[in-house]
């Protein structure tokens, strides 16, 4: 048998390493933005009453499979995550441009990033994530429509070190521009409603890596109606979301854009004066260059 020369062995080894490196890169997804799509559902743009409010979001979400640009599974993950997001809001009785002014602060604690990518798997400890501040939250109302305009800043307050297994933050700032509306059939707020809230997330450079993630477009929507059962008032319907990366990541192992969608049932109830509880389940589909999973939201709201 002819002996393989050293340089030939080097060529074979280099080819194997090149293939392995390329395959690993293809299995990774782009960096995602901060916003967890699906956070707003039925009547997502309903105008809040004047005063203070507290909303506690409990999110159970799974990371099941990493999908490539064709929607094929490149890695099975099969893990469950939990996040708690406490949001304190205030709405003034004063108006600006015909809308009431407000502000919101959201503080998340989670077992991983709220919008995970393929680098953010295999983590379990609950810790502080990236805090979001909404200094401008304008809301208005008309006989058949509620509407909102918001500007928010997502801070890199959560722990982040490149490649670390315990990151809870994304490591970059984001600016969020939001518009939304909720339409009430025939102006009846106790009947059918159709809502949509659209967000553009402008992601800034991740200082520790020099990577600028692509910007995102997210839309949360919901269709439902009020149902009266005895002394209890319920709202039931279907809600969902779509999220798209609208500009490419500046660099990294996978610069293709990602997208995914979600849909599922939602129900809410007024349980006491000023208290409401909402339950939402959404299954993800049409996933490309992202981690696919499912979401269950349990949301408690109190108006002071």
Question: What's the CATH number where 13 sits?
Answer: 2.40.160.40
Q: Give the pLDDT confidence of 13-56 residue by residue, as tens digits.
A: 333 333 333 333 445 788 899 999 999 999 999 999 999 999 99
Q: Lowest-confidence range among 52-56, 174-178, 231-235?
A: 231-235
Task: Say if residues 126 and 111 touch (Cβ distance below 8 Å).
Answer: yes
Helix, strand, coil content of the chain in percent (nearest 5): 10, 55, 35
User: What's the pLDDT at 165?
Assistant: 72
Neighbours of 54 (CB within 10 A): 13
* Residues paired with residue 297 on neighbouring β-strands, in sequence order: 59, 280
**What's the CA gap between 81 and 113, in Å, rounded?**
9
Do the domain assignments include residue 111?
yes
**Which of 113-117, 224-228, 267-271 has the lowest average pLDDT?**
113-117
Number of domains in the chain: 1
Which tokens belong to 269?
Answer: 């109830």
Percentage of the residues of the chain whose pLDDT score is greater than 70: 87
pLDDT at residue 25, as a whole number:
40
Residues found in the chain:
304
pLDDT at residue 100 in the model: 97
Of 143, 45, 147, 43, the closest CA to residue 97 belongs to 147
d(CA 87, CA 106) in angstroms, rounded, equals: 4
Segment 119-154, tens digit of pLDDT:
666 667 889 999 999 999 999 999 999 999 999 999
Is 1 a domain residue?
Answer: no
> Which domain range does residue 146 map to?
6-303
SS3 134: strand
CB 55 within 8 A of CB 281: no
Task: Pick left, alpha or beta for residue 23 (phi over 0 → left; psi -120 to 50 → alpha; otherwise beta).
Answer: alpha
Residue 97: what pLDDT?
86
Q: How far is CA 152 from the centre of its chain?
A: 14
Q: In the chain, where does DSSP find H-type helix?
A: 6-27
Q: Does the pLDDT value for residue 104 go beyond 90?
A: yes
pLDDT of residue 254: 63
Res. 6: pLDDT tops 70: no
Average pLDDT over residues 78-101: 93
What does the alpha-carbon distance between residue 39 and residue 150 come to, in Å, rounded to a whole number?
A: 15
* pTM score: 0.87
Predicted pLDDT of residue 27:
54
Q: Are 8 and 14 in contact (CB under 8 A)?
A: no
Q: How many CA atoms lie within 13 A of 51 on its CB side?
A: 7
pLDDT, tens only, 245-254 = 999 998 876 6
Residue 88 C-beta-side C-alpha neighbours within 13 Å: 3
Examine residue 143 and state whether it is found in any structural domain, yes or no: yes
Which pLDDT does position 38 carry in this prediction? 94
């Amino acid at each position: 048998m002819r002996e393989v020369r050293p340089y030939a062995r080097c060529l074979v080894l280099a080819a194997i390493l090149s293939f392995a490196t390329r395959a690993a890169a293809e299995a990774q997804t782009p960096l995602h933005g901060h916003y967890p799509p699906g956070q707003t559902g039925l009547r997502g743009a309903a105008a809040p009453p004047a005063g203070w409010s507290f909303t506690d979001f409990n999110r159970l979400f799974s990371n099941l499979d990493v999908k490539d640009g064709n929607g094929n599974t490149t890695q099975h993950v099969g893990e469950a995550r939990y996040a708690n997001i406490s949001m304190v809001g205030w709405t003034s009785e004063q108006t600006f441009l015909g809308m009431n002014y407000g502000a919101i602060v959201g503080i998340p604690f989670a077992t991983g990033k709220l919008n995970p990518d393929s680098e953010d798997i295999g983590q379990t400890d609950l810790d502080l994530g990236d805090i979001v501040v909404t200094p401008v939250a304008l809301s208005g109302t008309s006989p058949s429509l509620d509407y909102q305009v918001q500007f928010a800043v997502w801070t890199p307050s959560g722990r982040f070190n490149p490649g670390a297994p315990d990151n809870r933050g994304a490591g970059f700032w984001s600016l969020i521009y939001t518009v939304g509306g909720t339409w009430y059939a025939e102006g009846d707020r106790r009947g059918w409603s159709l809502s949509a809230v659209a967000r553009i997330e402008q992601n800034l450079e991740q200082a520790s890596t020099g990577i600028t993630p692509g910007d995102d477009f997210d839309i949360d929507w919901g269709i439902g109606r009020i149902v009266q059962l005895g002394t209890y008032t319920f709202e039931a319907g279907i809600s969902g979301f779509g999220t798209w990366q609208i500009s490419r990541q500046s660099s990294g192992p996978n610069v293709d854009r990602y997208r995914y969608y979600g849909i599922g049932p939602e129900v809410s109830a007024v349980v006491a004066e000023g208290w409401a509880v909402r339950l939402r389940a959404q299954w993800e589909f049409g996933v490309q260059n992202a981690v696919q999973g499912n979401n269950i939201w349990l949301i408690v709201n109190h108006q002071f």
